[in-house]
A and B are shown apart, each in its own frame.
Chain A
Amino acid sequence: MPIYEFPEDGIRSRPIYRPLQPDVAARFHLMVAEGAGAEALARLHDKLPDEASCSIHYLAGSDGPDGSDRLMQLDCQQTRIHFDDAQLADALRRELENASMGTRLYVAGGEGFIWRMAAVGASCGMSEEEVHVERCGSLARPAQCVHCKTRVEGVTTNIYECPGCGLHVTVRDHFSRRHGAYQSVRVDAEAPGELPPIEETYR
């Protein structure tokens, strides 16, 4: 399995997302999703060997459809529904702290969610190879303004007004997994006031 996969064109820090596949070498499958990610976990669960050991954490009530019922029906050692991102992250951390080598973490959801959960895995000593991610639902981008560092969760347009500094910033393809965000940079720095057309690019 290649650890490093990058887009062929453009800025290569932009992550590539693929449908989740079971890592059959693993002994324990820890599955985490929000919103539309429930569907991805259900698909993943179908592909797991019958005897596989797994656990599911799901964040209901975030954007997108509620897949709680769908996940509760799956045959899984433990399925827990959470109603808040931080609560889910805490539960995930507790479970990882007691987990053994041979565990894989699977995350499905929006990009902000994915990288918050991946960071929990990394802080428990998991390497990139042990964490699999799939983007589900909206293509809206989490972005961080490089000037004032203000983070915005779901940017759908190529240009937005930063709520921190009020500048018009454009969302680049340059992506930081540590921040879980794309980089936003002032768009009219060299010609103040001259804004390119604003388009809904990431829906």
Chain B
Amino acid sequence: MTGQANIPVRVARIEQITPMIRRFTLERSDGGTLPGFSGGSHVVVTMRGEERTHHNPYSLMGSPDDKQRYQISVRRDDDGRGGSLFMHQKVAEGDTLEVSPPTNLFALNPLAERHILIAGGIGITPFMAQLHELRRAGADYQMHYAFRDQENAAFRDELEAACGDRLTAYDGSAGQFVQPAQLLGEQPLGTHVYVCGPKGMIEAVNEAAFELGWADSHVHWEEFAAPPVGKPFRVVLQKSGMEITVPGASSVLEALEDAGLQPNCLCRGGVCGECETAVVEGEIEHNDHFLPDDVKQSNSRMMICVSRARSERVVLDL
């Protein structure tokens, strides 16, 4: 999965959806069609800034049938590492970006008898594409969408048009909140629940499902970890003998790329498992959703896209 050519895209349209969220419509800049995708897929957008290059994963939210354009939405994060700010402040219509081919780590289960979709805020984006699939398949589904207030209710009109009375909206400023235990109680066998939103919402849905005796394979969630900002540390690559410094605002992966290396990677959000790397020495602060807890505790492996060192120095089997 290394060294794969990205797809060059032109920003055809930028829409300010809410004060915090912009939707970008991307078209292939060489004129061809884009790869098809399934609902729940994301692409990694490469943004070449003057100071640094950002690689951020964003869910595709347009119709999977449309090969002419991709649509992504970016929520501005003023405290983040700069990728979303770059998209909001530096990118204009007509600019070019690069995207990876789509990957789906949050797919609908086609065997489900019923689908319950729960979104919080910007977490609505993967569902926007999945709703196309569910409607085409004539599936039994419910869409539950929570937002802070009316001003931040992104895409609400589009959702109402698409889902009709299958949509339940929750306006937090009016005291409306998703009640996972209520939603998940008394659901027929074969129901699957999908949640994308703030960490607390994902945890609440998981807890309710567990309390109600749901099997894990019926509970799906997606939460890309943005690589957190931390203290700088040294990385020693055992095989090549290289030694590099990982700055506070870069991930190990990015630091290796800045040094001219091309480690395996795919989602850049600690989900897909592609960049799993053996740790020879050092203590790790794990930020991924991939490695099992016992492996995390053993400090024997790390996901270099999101995890950092707790020690001042780590030695990796690279």
Contact = CB atoms under 8 A, between A and B. Distances in A.
A and B, direct touch (CB closer than 8 Å): yes
Interface of A: 3, 23, 25-28, 96-97, 99-104, 124-130
Nearest to B214: A101
A49 to B, nearest CB: 12
Contacts of A96: 189
Interface string B213-226: 11111100000000
B264 interface: no
A99 B189 contact: yes
B216 A129 contact: yes
Nearest to B184: A101
- Number of chain B interface residues as a range: 10 to 19
B112 interface: yes
A102 B217 contact: no
A26 B213 contact: yes
Nearest to A124: B189
A104 B215 CA distance: 9
B191 A125 contact: yes
B210 to A, nearest CB: 6
Given A125-B111, A125-B113, A102 B214 contact: yes
Interface string B100-132: 000000000001110000000000000000000
A101 B216 contact: no
Interface in B253-301: none
B151 interface: no
A100 B187 contact: yes
A96 B113 CA distance: 13
A175 B57 CA distance: 41
Contacts of A103: 189, 213
Nearest to A29: B213
B217 A129 contact: yes
Contacts of A128: 217
B215 A127 contact: yes
Which 3 pairs across A and B sit closest by C-beta, in order of nearness? A125-B190, A102-B213, A125-B113
Nearest to A27: B213
Nearest to B192: A125
Nearest to A96: B189
Contact of B189 (A3, A25, A100): A100
B188 interface: yes
Interface string B192-223: 00000000000000000010111111100000
B210 A25 contact: yes
B30 interface: no
B78 interface: no
A50 B129 CA distance: 46
Contacts of A3: 217
A126 B190 contact: yes
Contacts of B216: 129
Contacts of B188: 97, 99-101, 125
Contacts of B184: 101
Given A25-B210, A125-B112, A101 B217 contact: no
26 contacts: A3-B217, A25-B213, A27-B212, A27-B213, A97-B188, A100-B186, A100-B189, A101-B187, A101-B189, A101-B212, A101-B218, A102-B213, A103-B189, A103-B213, A124-B189, A124-B190, A125-B111, A125-B188, A125-B189, A125-B190, A125-B191, A126-B190, A127-B217, A128-B217, A129-B216, A129-B217
Nearest to A1: B216
Nearest to A127: B217
